[in-house]
Chain A
Amino acid sequence: MKILVVMKQVPDLADELEISDDGNSLDPDAVTWVLNEFDDHALEEALQLKDALGGSVAALALGSEAVDKALFTALAKGADEAKKVGEFEGGVSSHVAAEAFAAAIGGMEYDLILTGVQAIDDLDGQVGPLLATKLEIPHVSVVTHVEVSGDAKSVTVHQEYAGGVLAEFEVDLPAVLGIQAARATPRYAPVSRVRQLQKEASLETIDGAPSGTSGLEVERLFVPETGGHAEMIEGDEDEAAEKIVNILEERGLLPK
């Protein structure tokens, strides 16, 4: 089974995000790029399938300076190949990303494409279904379970709904699955191994240029005004705990 994992970088939410002076994009200088956490689950699920059934895993990401580390990390975790598609700096719309991935993947052999169910910046929809439709293959999103059939011609997947209800689908391969959660916590790659690969291995680059458009015009970005904000409880942890207990007591929320 040949599995492709389609990955993208997103701004790290641990950092304070700043809006550019133009008002409709993020200040690139204030952004640290990290791998989309759901793509990490997609990679883990791919590696688990490979561990169980054999085959190969290739990780693909849109080319940028920041993406190298994510691709070397994928290799360190057990991916057989890591490929950079074109040159894309900064945020890329999902439609443009899907277009570039579709062009790159068009000439490849594969049975299954896994990607993260969503990303924190995919304003114009999720890459998985866009890519699948572009490639004219089926897709299922919000997938929490993947089982390959005995003849490796289809997969049985679970799609998750509100309240924990699942739908079971049988999907002909090749297909794109948007992974919500891998069967196991994404594995850890030792930093030393990633560094070693960065020195020794090289990433394959596939030509590609931005093409297509989201069809959206972002007028402005803004920090949402919320209906309210929590009343902040000051003091060290002990003092804060004391104040919380007082609040709970006043409201009759302590056990009688």
Chain B
Amino acid sequence: MSNDIFVLIEHRDGVVAETSFELIGKAKELAGESGGAAVAVILGDGAATLTGKLGAADRAIVIDGPGVAQFTPTGYTAALKPVLGEHEPLLMLFPNSAVGMDVAAGLSQAADLPLAAYAVDLKLADGQPVVTSQVYGGKINAEMKFTKGRGIVTVIAGSFPADAGQQDGSPEIQSVSTDASDSRVRFKKLIAPEAGDVDITKESVLVSVGRGVEEEDNIELAQELADALGGAVSASRPVVDAGWLPKTRQVGKSGLKVKPKLYLAVGISGAPEHLEGMRDAELIIAVNSDENAPIFSVAHYGVVGDLFDLLPSLTEKIQERVG
């Protein structure tokens, strides 16, 4: 057993994900308290060259082998299980991404380690990890401990600053070659998103619609407002899943991260997955019928009201004012 804090480094196409740096930064802080090391764990093709970005970690474990050349949920789980078993870290941190969700839960079951998901904060109390997780669509947080004092955590992106984990130069490297493989899931290829008619990451004004618009036809109300403001319409996941707007307009965890001058969130409750993609907008104005909607916690201005009345009125007043 050790007091080390392990971090899974997520990377794709030769780029280390921002969340990995967020986790390294936090791991360093926690390792300083626990008396252990912050250990970056990286697998797959290109891993050895990417360690040059992981200078903030105390150590890196590079796991290499034919079964982990490309990410697969089962392949990563099979390769990580013995490493966790050998080192028994105090904590292993994963990003709460597709990769993190699959591997963390798989490992929890396979290695019989408890898992705390959706973490937004982490600290140590008497040497034991205390995890704060965001549940119920961001409406309630849960503060938890592991019964046996150690475990796995998946952390929501943006919970910790990336700066603290960003340092060029390679930490001390431990290479592990693995023959672990699980060919039941085979990686075929990465598919880049199709380019859309509008690049919402470049728009300075976004009118963003959520489930509250109720019907496809009502998106027109948001489009009219966006036209009046010289901006574009974006959306939260349910609207895109329903096929009312293309994927290229989706803001959030599985969509795009935007930082416009104005983000008008209309009928968006503000689930954590959505907030991840827009909380850095310069001015956020939210319109929702539910006064307890989490979107109001990140918005600068809020209106509790009926969007079907508010949007046309807003469009009309802007048109009058602009003339």
Q: List, in ascending order, chain B residues with CB within 8 A of A222's CB.
A: 140-141, 143
In the complex, residue of chain A having the shortest beta-carbon distance to the beta carbon of B136: A120
User: B117 near A164 (CB under 8 angstroms)?
Assistant: no
Q: List, in ascending order, chain A residues with CB within 8 A of B71's CB.
A: 167
Residue B213, interface by CB 8 Å: no
With A140-B102, A217-B144, A233-B302 already in contact, the answer to whether A169 and B297 are too (CB < 8 A) is no
Residue A213, interface by CB 8 Å: yes
List residues 150-170 of chain A with CB under 8 A from any CB of chain B: 156, 158-170
With A141-B101, A222-B140, A255-B230 already in contact, the answer to whether A164 and B296 are too (CB < 8 A) is no
User: Chain B nearest CB: distance from A17 CB in Å?
Assistant: 6
- Encode contact with A along B212-233: 1 for CB under 8 Å, 0 otherwise: 0000000000000000111000
User: A13 near B139 (CB under 8 angstroms)?
Assistant: yes
CB-contact partner of B134 in A160, A171, A182, A224, under 8 A: A224
**Docked complex Cα distance between A115 and B236 (Å):** 22
Q: List, in ascending order, chain B residues with CB within 8 A of A156's CB.
A: 188
CB-contact partner of B98 in A141, A244, A245, under 8 A: A141
- Encode contact with A along B81-120: 1 for CB under 8 Å, 0 otherwise: 0000000000000000111011011101110011111100
User: B321 near A249 (CB under 8 angstroms)?
Assistant: yes
User: A241 near B187 (CB under 8 angstroms)?
Assistant: no
CB-contact partner of B140 in A117, A138, A223, A253, under 8 A: A223
In the complex, residue of chain B having the shortest beta-carbon distance to the beta carbon of A171: B185
Q: Chain A: how many interface residues by the 8 Å CB criterion?
A: 91
Q: Interface residues of B toward A: which range?
A: 35 or more
User: Chain B nearest CB: distance from A89 CB in Å?
Assistant: 18
A-B contact count (CB 8 A): 280
Q: List, in ascending order, chain A residues with CB within 8 A of B108's CB.
A: 95, 124-125, 130
Residue A111, interface by CB 8 Å: no
With A133-B106, A142-B98, A255-B229 already in contact, the answer to whether A218 and B143 are too (CB < 8 A) is yes
With A134-B109, A254-B321 already in contact, the answer to whether A161 and B97 are too (CB < 8 A) is yes
With A216-B144, A219-B143, A224-B140 already in contact, the answer to whether A168 and B109 are too (CB < 8 A) is no
With A17-B136, A161-B97, A233-B303 already in contact, the answer to whether A219 and B145 are too (CB < 8 A) is yes
Residue A175, interface by CB 8 Å: yes
User: A162 near B303 (CB under 8 angstroms)?
Assistant: no
Residue A231, interface by CB 8 Å: yes
Q: List, in ascending order, chain A residues with CB within 8 A of B113's CB.
A: 215
Q: List, in ascending order, chain B residues with CB within 8 A of A218's CB.
A: 142-144
